[in-house]
Amino acid sequence: MNVSIPKHIDWRRWIKRWDRMQDFYIPARKERFEIIVQLIADSQKKVSRVLDVGCGTGSLMMPVLQEFPAAEVWGVDFDATLLALAQNRLSKFGGRVKLVRADLRKKGWTDIVSGPFDAIVSATALHWFSPAQLGRLYKQFAGILKPGGIFLNADHAGSCCKGIQQDWQNQRRLYTLNRKRNGVDDWDGFWRAYGQALKIDIAKFRKELMGSWVGSEQGQPLQWHFEKLKAGGFEAIDCFWRLEFDAIYGGIRK
């Protein structure tokens, strides 16, 4: 992976700051992880290999590793600064953890992670991709899942109705405004502080990293995801949980 956290940096502190920031913005974040883990357990007779796409600091990989002690869990992300935190967070699991830096927008990333997998999961990452990119990813996911394997995504999923979408966004805005920060970073504040700790120009780094990301913050409607998953080779497609414009959805590879 060729990244590491300098010895003078307290990586546990930065993981805590990341999780607190994410929990502030994402209601029921822990519940989402628990539901994903339970759905994997309920749908798979045996869990040997799981892939987390857009794994970030390994927040979702942690409960997967804990629930399935015999499983090898892979995490792929494009951000080396987050992968470095994941590497430290998950080090106690030893060789069961495989972290890969790769750009899911480019061909060849599936060769690096080398399927097949029993499950592919993701949380609050895939909305960064354009509709064309995401539709292509669904086909790629099916290609590296075993027959009967499950794909699950906890992410933003918008509404086809502008009024409903606006109502959801108003509810989320009120949820955030009514909460006390108690020292919790906002999104920009975390990256600014983390960049200073790493002694890098984080704004420049992330601009170069993100490049031409053209996703939608509100996410595509569930109906869109269902159609693309079906076209990509999935069945038993459904929404398993919903809270305003967030959902857990997915399907089984045919």
Tell me what the mean pLDDT of segment 68-76 comes to.
Answer: 98
CATH number of 28-160+212-253: 3.40.50.150
Mean residue pLDDT of the chain comes to 92
Rounded CA separation 111/14 (Å): 31
Taking residue 46's Cβ as centre, other Cβ atoms within 10 Å add up to 8
Kindly report, residue by residue over 213-234, the tens digit of the pLDDT: 666 677 899 999 999 999 999 9
**pTM, full prediction:** 0.93
Torsion over CA of 182, 185, 187 and 189, rounded to 10 degrees? 140
Yes or no: say if 33 and 123 are a contact pair by the CB < 8 Å rule.
yes
Q: At what angle do helices 11-25 and 80-89 cross, to 10 degrees?
A: 110
126 to 9, 17, 195: CA distances (angstroms) = 29, 22, 24
Rounded CA separation 203/59 (Å): 23
**Residue 5 phi, psi dihedral angles, 5° rounding:** -90, 125
Pairing of strands 145-156, 72-77: unpaired
Kindly report, residue by residue over 152-210, the tens digit of the pLDDT: 999 999 888 889 888 888 888 888 877 878 889 999 999 999 999 988 888 787 777 77
Residue 250 has pLDDT above 90, yes or no: yes
